[in-house]
Amino acid sequence: MAAVMDAGPQALVKDGKVSIYQPEQKGLIFPELPVFSNPAAHRQHLKERLVGACRAFAQQGFDYGFAGHLTVRDPENPGLYWTNPMAIHFSQVKVSNLICADHQGNVVEGRHAINRAGFVLHAAVHEMHQDIVAMCHAHTVYGTAFASLGKKLEPITQDAAAFFEDHVVIGDEAGQVAVEVKAGHKVAHAFKGVKAAIHQNHGLLTASRHSIESAAFWFIALERCCQQQLMVDATGIAPKLVTPERARYSREHVGSEYIGWLHFQTIWDELVATQPDMFD
């Protein structure tokens, strides 16, 4: 959604922080956070953006059979969440085939089954953290490879600094297929105050207290950072790291929920222009 900016410098203060984007752009088109008149309109918006996130994952090549689970909390019934249907390719997810489930894994709306492994992890996170509205997980090439190392990302670039002190490594349940409730609880505990997790021998997970767009973009960014880290590590040369002070500064200015949402708007606009069937 784009709107003409008609406010002063304070218009770009998001999440209590000033973004890197310059103020004083009165009269110019700039993406604007949506406002909803009723829960139904809000729900439709969330479902469309969830589909957009799935299509973005398809564009990125994040598919791996039926693995991969994206969720967003229902705006009217916080005990329910919307998710992609089981065994449907990310590129084929549409508004019409989304499913809605409760935290016990019961499908309350939709024709398709739910991904049991995804349900265990996501339901536990949503239930434990009422402020988390969206979560993403997929079995990606670089993220899964990096997860085998059992270590955090280093602040080797500004992009990687967006995750500085804002991601964790989950070592428990390493290599175990995540279908047990206890595995979900351990993942949920790890998401206190962070936006991303590297689950050892499993892969990447992101969560957002802002939007599905933010969760999806930071997943894409995290996968990219894992790729860069593996490439740097392969040189055998120790990289020069961004200092902790500067890494924190970068995280605050380019790693916020709002900036994640803003980055996704470019992806959303491209999807709307090229994949109108996602609204079916």
Report pLDDT digits (tens) over 264-280.
999 999 999 999 999 99
Query: What average pLDDT is seen over the chain?
Result: 90
- Determine the pLDDT at residue 268: 98
Q: How confident is the model at residue 174 (pLDDT cuts 50, 70, 90)?
A: low
Q: List all residues 6 or more positions away from 63 whose beta carbon is below 8 Å from its beta carbon.
A: 57, 89, 90, 91, 138
> Which residues lie closer than 8 Å to 204 by C-beta, 6 or more apart?
137, 138, 140, 143, 144, 147, 196, 197, 198, 219, 222, 223, 226
Average confidence (pLDDT) over 211-230: 98
The full 3-state SS of 170-183, as one line of letters, equals: ECCCCCCCCCCHHH
Please say if the pLDDT value at position 13 is more than 50: no
Parallel, antiparallel or unpaired: strands 167-170 and 134-138: unpaired
- Using alpha carbons only, give the angle 114, 115, 117 rounded to the nearest 5 degrees: 140
Q: What pLDDT was estimated at residue 204?
A: 97
Which pLDDT value is given to residue 9? 31
Q: Are 232 and 239 in contact (CB under 8 A)?
A: yes
pTM for this prediction: 0.90
Under 8 Å between Cβ of 216 and 57? yes
For the record, the structure tokens of 72 come out as: 């967003």
- Asked whether residue 161 carries a pLDDT value surpassing 90, the answer given is yes
Burial bucket for residue 248 (CB in 10 Å: 0-12, 13-18, 19+): middle
Tens digits of residue pLDDT in 63-119: 999 999 999 999 999 999 999 999 999 999 999 999 999 988 999 999 999 988 788
pLDDT of residue 23: 55
Instruction: Work out the pLDDT band at 176, boundaries 50, 70, 90.
Output: low
Amino acid (1-letter code) at residue 184: G
Distance CA 159, CA 242 (A): 11
Residue 240 has what DSSP assignment?
P
Mean pLDDT of 24-51: 92
Mean pLDDT of 126-138: 96
Q: What pLDDT is recorded for position 279? A: 97
Tokens of 200: 């050892």
* Residue 83 near residue 118 (C-beta atoms within 8 A): yes
| pLDDT score, position 14 | 45
All domains of the chain in start order, with CATH: 2-31 (no CATH), 39-279 (3.40.225.10)
Calculate mean pLDDT across residues 153-176: 89
Whether 43 has a pLDDT exceeding 90, the answer reads: yes
What is the mean pLDDT of the segment spanning 137-142? Answer: 97
Q: What is the pLDDT of residues 179-191, one digit of tens each?
A: 566 678 889 999 9
Q: Where are the beta strands (DSSP E) in 29-103?
A: 29-31, 69-73, 80-83, 99-102
